């Protein structure tokens, strides 16, 4: 029986991916993660799987079971943008990912891995996923650097898995992020602020060219992220690094307004200073250039921000449901 290995499987995107594969009748899943974090347990408790493997022993397991693995979805990473210890990211995001790549290359197993829009920094070079631009990108924090370092390393490899995709996730939101704390999406935080206080706090703009709440991000619903991954698992001949956003930047004001609308509560927005520890590393605009993904045949329409927030709030957050 051939198995699909998912790293970071108890986390946000990884668990949603496992849920969708179950929905599609795929149950031979091997979930790899650090399962000691009990706050993530509910993400996978209802999933039908083959086996759980601790992140620390995954490579031993892979060596023993490689003949039965037909795909690796490497979604696991340290994603805390407020963590500034480079050593943490070197270990988990760079070196661990190199081991995954080398394993998939050695045994010729297809691979999809998670990169990030954090690689684009302030967007000085735009948001194109052209491989030629990747060595020149200037991420704003150690997390973004770790993702870009791995992307650069991948592009230098002559030996590769038979099929591989690196996906630069933009601002992903949706079910199964209950455990993420400060790193959960702004929509998650807005929902809980409205429920608790009747208002939403947004960061002020500290740039003259943006109004308060007018900062723009490419918010992409996790259901779309999962759809793209499933599409690429069956798309041979187009290996490479791809953006994964909607291609349409929206303001934080739009986000807040739609959260109030989904809860049927009047808008009440307050602006607060952006925290000093992230102020000089704060992205005021991100928007994925999606030309490359569309050019290889991805045609499914993305959730608009209105549609995504309505679905997330009404069908998941209100009931604390899982995908």
Q: Assess if residue 63 is contained within a domain.
A: yes
Tell me what pLDDT residue 82 has.
57
Q: Assess if residue 254 is contained within a domain.
A: no
Give the per-residue SS3 of 49-72: CCEEEEHHHHHHHHHHHHHHEEEE
Tell me what pLDDT residue 139 has.
93
- Looking only at the bridges linking them, the beta strands covering 164-169 and 240-244 are parallel
Tell me what pLDDT residue 87 has.
65
Q: Residue 59 is part of which domain span?
A: 3-173+219-247+287-303
Q: Assess if residue 268 is contained within a domain.
A: no
8 A C-beta contact, residue 252 and residue 211:
no
Domain CATH for 115: 3.40.50.720
Tell me what pLDDT residue 141 has.
86
Distances (CA, A) of 173 to 14, 18, 189, 226, 313: 13, 16, 11, 12, 11
Q: Assess if residue 322 is contained within a domain.
A: no
Tell me what pLDDT residue 277 has.
81
Tell me what pLDDT residue 77 has.
77
Q: Assess if residue 84 is contained within a domain.
A: yes
Q: Assess if residue 178 is contained within a domain.
A: no
8 A C-beta contact, residue 223 and residue 174:
yes
Tell me what pLDDT residue 280 has.
81
Catalytic residues: 143, 180
Q: How many domains does the chain have?
A: 1
Tell me what pLDDT residue 81 has.
57
pTM (2 d.p.): 0.95
Residues of the chain with pLDDT under 50: none
Tell me what pLDDT residue 16 has.
98
Q: Assess if residue 149 is contained within a domain.
A: yes
Q: Assess if residue 24 is contained within a domain.
A: yes
């Amino acid at each position: 029986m051939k198995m699909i290995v998912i790293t970071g499987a108890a986390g946000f995107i990884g668990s949603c991916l496992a849920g969708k594969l179950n929905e599609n009748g795929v149950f031979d899943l091997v979930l790899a993660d650090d399962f000691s974090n009990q706050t993530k347990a509910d993400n996978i408790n209802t999933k039908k799987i083959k086996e759980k493997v601790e992140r620390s022993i995954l490579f031993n397991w892979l060596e023993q079971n490689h003949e039965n693995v037909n795909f690796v979805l490497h979604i696991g990473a340290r994603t805390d943008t407020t963590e500034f210890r480079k050593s943490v990211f070197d270990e988990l995001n760079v070196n661990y990912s190199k081991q995954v790549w080398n394993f998939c290359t050695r045994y010729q197993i297809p691979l999809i891995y998670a990169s990030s829009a954090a690689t684009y920094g302030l967007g000085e070079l735009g948001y194109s996923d052209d491989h030629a631009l990747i060595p020149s990108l200037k991420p704003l924090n150690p997390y973004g650097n770790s993702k870009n370092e791995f992307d650069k390393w991948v592009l230098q490899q002559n030996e590769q898995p038979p099929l591989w995709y690196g996906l630069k996730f933009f601002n992903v939101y949706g079910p199964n992020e209950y455990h993420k704390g400060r790193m959960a999406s702004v929509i998650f935080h807005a929902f809980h602020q409205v429920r608790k206080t009747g208002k939403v706090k947004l960061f002020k703009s500290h740039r003259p060219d943006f109004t308060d709440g007018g900062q723009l991000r490419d918010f992409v619903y996790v259901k779309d992220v999962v759809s793209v991954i499933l599409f690429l698992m069956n798309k041979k001949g187009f290996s490479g690094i791809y953006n994964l956003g909607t291609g349409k930047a929206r303001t934080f004001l739009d986000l807040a307004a739609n959260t109030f609308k989904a809860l049927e509560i009047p808008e009440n927005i307050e602006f607060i200073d952006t925290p000093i520890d992230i102020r000089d590393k704060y992205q005021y605009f991100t928007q994925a250039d999606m030309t490359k993904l569309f050019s290889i045949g991805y045609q499914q329409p993305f959730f608009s921000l209105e549609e995504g927030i309505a679905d997330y709030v009404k069908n998941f957050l209100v009931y604390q449901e899982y995908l």
